[in-house]
Chains A and B, each alone.
Chain A
Amino acid sequence: MNEITIAEALNQALAYEMSVDENVVILGEDVGVNGGVFRITVGLQERFGIDRVIDTPLAEGLISGMAIGMATQGLKPIAEFQFMGFIYPGFDQIINHASRLRNRTRGRLTCPIVFRAPYGGGIHAPEHHSESTEALFAHIPGIRVVVPSSPARAYGLLLSAIRDPDPVVFLEPKRIYRMMKQDVPDNGESLPLDRCFVLREGSDVSLIAWGAMIHETTLVADELEKEGIHAEIIDVATIKPLDIETILNSVNKTGRCVIIHEAARTCGVGAEISAQIANKGLVSLLAPIQRVTGYDTIMPYFKLEKYYMPSVKRILKAVKAVMEFV
């Protein structure tokens, strides 16, 4: 048995791929001796050397820009941003080049890059350390946006992201980095991208979430089970491109749907999922789709953050509303 946390599973995936593929390099702030501020890259510089586990200067634009040049030479850069809130100086290079280079050159130059960033709230951090802006990335053609929610999926999805021939924004739910342990064999087996995972089958209501929200969603499903309501839990996992088929199959079965995400509501990924369900699954709906999300406010400082983030109570309330709708 190899019982490990999400943080350890990510480290295990990085180490695995670096050991089998010499083209894999890691670059970011404090990723070397320090092993990253969340210790995701711990021990890797010692093992693979300072040329492959690269401490960069404090410049996120440099990190994403250089990763692009490296990738066109056949390297597979894994760029770490310390927090999602600090990714924006590097955003220009992601939206203007990494996502477009294959298209711009008709496949001549490509960007097999993973842009990793811890994201989400609930760790009592200062401003800029708690946001969930996955929708900004999901709007960009040419990239993938992937969010793991368990140690096994962290390992399998990160391996897929590194092996993918195109850029992947890999968002790590930092609140659950060390929340649970799971047996994750270090066998190099990846999990498919572009697929939602049905974590629990149920016939009464579809709960659609990703990242750290899977934790609250699971608690809600357990609670509902006690009342005889069988909830189906879908971990979206790859937000872009969105596997709407799996979601539609679920909604067709249950007729009721609650989407849960930490990000602000307006133009959040939940809006896209709702629109697609409305477009392709309207007749199977027995109740209006409910969204339980962060509010359309600035993410509050941590004294109030628990009121911002979807709680078990808020999700339960929404589920009750869709169950009681006639």
Chain B
Amino acid sequence: MSIVTKFEIHYVQYINEKGEELMSLPAFAKDKEILISLYRFMVLTRIYDAKAIALQRTGKMGTFASSLGQEAVSVGIGNALQKEDVFCPYYRDQGAMFQRGIKISELLSFWGGDEWGSHYANNKEDFSIAIPIGTQLLHAAGIAYAIKLRKQKRAVVVTCGDGASSEGDFYHAINAAGIWKLPLVIVINNNQWAISVPRTRQSGTKTLAQKAIAGGIDGVQVDGNDVIAVRHIVSEALDKARGGDGPTLIEALTYRLCDHTTADDASRYIDKADLERAWNLEPLSRFYSYLIKNNYITEKLNEKIHEECNQQVEDSVEEYLNIPLRLPESMFDYLYAKLPVPLKEQRDEIEGLANE
């Protein structure tokens, strides 16, 4: 008998839950501007999430998915991406989307029941939030194929949750990425829960990162509560992808400190003690400890960042609440490039009803 193949999965963490440096940091982590930017977007995300839940609870918005406790994953991705790259988010990616030119008011508008919330005035190519689970991985693979066909030096990042890694589309995408060596980076936000189903019931594999092996691509696990690690690993994977050296699957380990959405009550299935343990590992206070220990931030600057983020969110809420209701007949206007003649009668009907 002989061994045909072997694999190992590496785990990457730079800063532990106490904000201590475990090994020498990547070069970007010496750049105060980047560090503060990462911190600012994590704060912004947390404030936005809290505000969005409040809007839903007061009837001013629809169902909403928070990213509480997972801010480092999305914010790290957003910072690693370059403008010309393409991002295909799932529904806990506000942290990255804010960095991609997508306005807070647009995201609120999306959750507020208006398709214009995915129009993105300042971003032409990124996909909008994917609601069906895992389907966006194939869109990302298709985009990556087009990029490769045109020999462009850019790449695609797509995200999903741990539950999505059980979907057929996830395996299709890993497979496609391996066959064509696509410039694609897949990031799993493994927050341990797919609504009420825990990670252990999703897959018998020791890691989700090792699913990469089945597609012949690289897989790596990263501490998703360590924004330095996420930013670094995604950035390295993107450089590799842009350079023509193929795809990477990254599993970021986090914990969902919030309900699945505002329509869920996680206290029905998450053990209180587990949740408390998870709070001790959460990304924002850990990063703040690191920054303050190393004099990158002061309490005063921290306060200022919080004030500014609060203001930004408040202004965006104002903007969102002032968006006028769309005309009912507009539901016909983006079905096709040009409204087919047979549909005109239905459009006229709704227009007529609205005017009655």
Contacts and interface: CB of A to CB of B under 8 A. Distances in A.
A7 to B, nearest CB: 27
Interface in B331-345: 334-337, 340-343
Contacts of B172: 57, 59, 61-62, 65
B61 interface: no
Contacts of B125: 72-73, 109
A71 B149 CA distance: 13
A239 B149 CA distance: 34
A3 interface: no
B141 A241 contact: no
Nearest to B138: A65
Contact of B335 (A61, A102, A194): A102
Contact of A93 (B128, B135, B147, B179): B135
Given A102-B336, A166-B336, A68 B139 contact: yes
Nearest to A110: B337
Question: Interface size class for chain B?
Answer: 35 or more
B146 interface: yes
Nearest to B131: A96
B144 interface: yes
A317 interface: no
B135 A241 contact: no
A104 B129 CA distance: 10
Interface of B is mostly: helix
A102 B334 contact: yes
B118 A66 contact: no
A305 interface: no
A104 B340 CA distance: 18
A194 B341 contact: yes
B199 to A, nearest CB: 24
Contacts of A164: 337
Contacts of A97: 132, 135, 139
Contacts, number: 133
Contacts of B168: 59, 61, 89
Interface string A127-160: 0000000000000011000000000000000000
Given A92-B132, A241-B341, A75 B175 contact: no
Contacts of B139: 65-66, 68-69, 72, 97
Contacts of B143: 69-70, 72-73
Interface in B60-119: 88, 115-116, 118-119
A165 B144 contact: no
A189 B209 CA distance: 51
Contacts of A109: 125, 127-128
Question: Interface size class for chain A?
Answer: 35 or more
Contacts of A52: 149
A224 interface: no
Nearest to A51: B149
A66 B145 contact: yes
B175 A57 contact: yes
A305 B189 CA distance: 51
Nearest to A97: B135
Contacts of A56: 176
A93 B116 CA distance: 22
A108 B142 contact: no
Interface in A49-105: 51-52, 56-57, 59, 61-62, 64-75, 77, 89, 92-93, 96-97, 102-105
B341 A107 contact: no
Interface in B117-137: 118-120, 124-125, 127-128, 132, 135, 137
Contacts of A51: 149
Nearest to B340: A241
Contacts of A102: 334-337
Contact of A105 (B88, B119, B335): B119
Contact of B115 (A62, A96, A103, A241): A103
Nearest to A107: B334
A66 B336 contact: no
A216 interface: no
A244 interface: yes
Interface in A141-200: 141-142, 164-166, 194
B142 A194 contact: no
A62 B337 CA distance: 25
7 contacts: A69-B144, A70-B142, A92-B135, A97-B135, A142-B335, A166-B336, A243-B342
Interface of A: 25, 51-52, 56-57, 59, 61-62, 64-75, 77, 89, 92-93, 96-97, 102-110, 141-142, 164-166, 194, 241-245
Closest 7 CB pairs of A and B: A69-B142, A65-B138, A73-B146, A66-B142, A241-B340, A62-B172, A165-B337
Given A62-B138, A245-B341, 4 more contacts: A69-B146, A72-B127, A97-B139, A104-B118
